[in-house]
Amino acid sequence: MEDKIRAAFRLNGGMGTFIIEMNFIQCFFDAFPDLLDISVFSFSEEMSYSLYGEQYFVSAYGSRNEFVPKEYDLAIDLNWFPQVLCCDDQKMKSADENGMLYALISSWKRFAGDQRTKVYFTPDTNMFDPNIHVFATAKKQNRLQVGDIDGLLGIDKHFRFTIPVEDESEVLAEFGLDNCRYITLQQGVDAACNTKFAPKQWPNEYYSRLCDICHERFPDIKLVQLGETDNNQPVEGVDLCLLGKTTIPELKAILKNSVLHVDGDCGMVHLRRAMHGGANIVLYGNLPDNVYGYNEDYRVSSDVCNHWCAKLFNAWKCRCYKGGLPECMTSIQPESIADIIGKHLDMLDNGELEIDCSLPQYKPSATVQERVLKEPGITLDAEWVEKWFMSAEIYDYVIERVKLSDLQFNKLTSQGYRLVPIARAPAYQYLQGDKNAYRNYMKLYQKYEPDTERSQQRFDELLNSLADNDYDDTNMIVVDGMYMILDGAHRACWLMNKYGTDHEVTVLKLYRSF
């Protein structure tokens, strides 16, 4: 379609991060499938097809150095959070009739532009990375979810993105793995560490000891080492060393079909999850496993240190913060990993586990707005819903009873807005007999906000309606977390005037994003 929005995403990181970012892009596309034409820039076109396969939500692949933002209606740089590099607002509004896509992109811009975001989540500051870990932990999110600002895309803790695997039987037969059960392992970590041994890496001799234990305990299980030669050392004791000997399609087939994969946090862990293969045993060391890990995996961490130190200093990928060998990894003994392997094999043999080959069809989570509008017993002002509620950044809501005296009114003054008790709202003062209070307040609006729809006439019409029909408790007063009235201030004033300050009323409380 000619009116589709041409969007481009540049990915950042290594293979595992690219895969996580592809999951984000798929969730984004699925929210607006009729509006978007997406290009992805990470690996070369050939390597992207080899790894990701042909995906319904991607029109074209390209390498990162081919990314030219100005050639697209929407260009996004993905690095934990989506950064909007360019956006054709006119094209966006024209194509997006209900305004939901434009509202989403606007929320990303607001998050990036917020002063707290700039202080704590900007790569130009030393506080960038550790604060992201704290941010994710506080929001109970893992790495897949962090970039979904306010949860508007409904991204959960599991991969929706699925990497296809072809010719599995042929590949397994080629490497002699077709008629056996095998465990894969990788000794190295990502090449960006620029070191043969990094703090998030389990020692090579520990892998060798694990092989000896496995041969003794599980003699029918083959041990297969995978990885690249430039950042892996051969592990003594493996049955099949495939360092540098597999293409990407071959690696995918072998990795997916192993009964278990043992690794540190790196690309193969995320690749196996995105192929919806079996479980990983992942040794996290100095990384927070709650952020990087998956519930389907065995996440192994040591308590020898009180806190993970990943990203707390610039060289965290290359050396231990305390110096010497990283105790968080050396304290994890091969015997404990072998125990996990034994437990996993027993569960497989007893039929207690199934390889995760597919996921149920994804159903997007309802937004907070959708949940509120479906809530029985709630009606909201249609004009307010259209103009503010549907595009607001809201992450939760509750319905509760409060005293009218607890409510606050955001009052316009010549110095700006001030939060005051509703007893000091001009509408309440008007009802108490001070007729000039509201008239003067309307003059203030005409001076500072001439486009306002507030007027003495509209207020009088509301008063007449309440006098004739009384107050409808389902047409709730809406407040924020500080009990500032977002909609229904005039009704709250009418109720206070009629029933007094201690009268309780049911309110819809919305928790808004900072």
In the chain, what are the domain boundaries?
Answer: 5-151, 168-349, 368-512
The predicted pLDDT at position 354 comes to 58
Q: Is 411 helix (H, G, I), strand (E, B) or coil?
A: strand
Cα–Cα distance measured from residue 398 to residue 386, given in angstroms and rounded to the nearest whole number: 21
The predicted pLDDT at position 461 comes to 86
φ, ψ at 36 (rounded to 5°):
-115, 145
Q: Please report which residue ranges of 38-167 form alpha helices under DSSP H.
A: 45-52, 89-95, 100-113, 115-120, 128-138
Name the pTM for this structure. 0.69
Cα–Cα distance measured from residue 118 to residue 446, given in angstroms and rounded to the nearest whole number: 35
Mean pLDDT, consecutive 10-residue stretches, the chain (514 aa), reads 85 94 97 95 96 96 96 94 92 85 90 75 54 83 91 91 96 96 88 65 94 97 94 92 96 97 94 94 90 91 82 79 85 94 93 53 62 87 88 85 94 88 93 90 83 75 87 89 91 94 93 64
φ, ψ at 16 (rounded to 5°):
-65, -45
Beta-carbon contacts of 127 under 8 Å, excluding residues fewer than 6 positions away, are: 119, 120
The predicted pLDDT at position 2 comes to 54
42 half-sphere exposure, CB direction, 13 A CA radius: 24
Write out pLDDT tens, residues 70-124: 999 999 999 889 999 999 988 888 888 788 899 899 999 988 887 777 666 655 5
Please name the helix (run of DSSP H) or strand (run of DSSP E) that holds residue 254, with its range, or none: helix 248-257
Instruction: Provide the CA 249 distance to its chain's centre, in angstroms.
Output: 28
Q: In which order are the strands placed within the sheet that holds 298-300?
A: 240-241, 221-225, 181-185, 260-264, 280-283, 298-300
The CATH code of the domain at 168-349 is 3.40.50.2000
Cα–Cα distance measured from residue 146 to residue 245, given in angstroms and rounded to the nearest whole number: 35
The predicted pLDDT at position 196 comes to 58
Amino acid letter for position 25: I
CA-wise closest residue to 387 among 435, 453, 461, 446: 453
The encoded tokens of residue 94 equal 């024209």
Whether residue 481 contacts residue 511, with contact meaning beta carbons closer than 8 Å, is answered with yes
| 13 to 21, 39, 149, 360: CA distances (angstroms) | 9, 18, 20, 29
List, in sequence order, every residue forming a beta bridge with 50; answer none if it has no partner. Answer: none
Q: Is 38 helix (H, G, I), strand (E, B) or coil?
A: strand
The predicted pLDDT at position 514 comes to 45
The predicted pLDDT at position 126 comes to 45
The predicted pLDDT at position 363 comes to 43
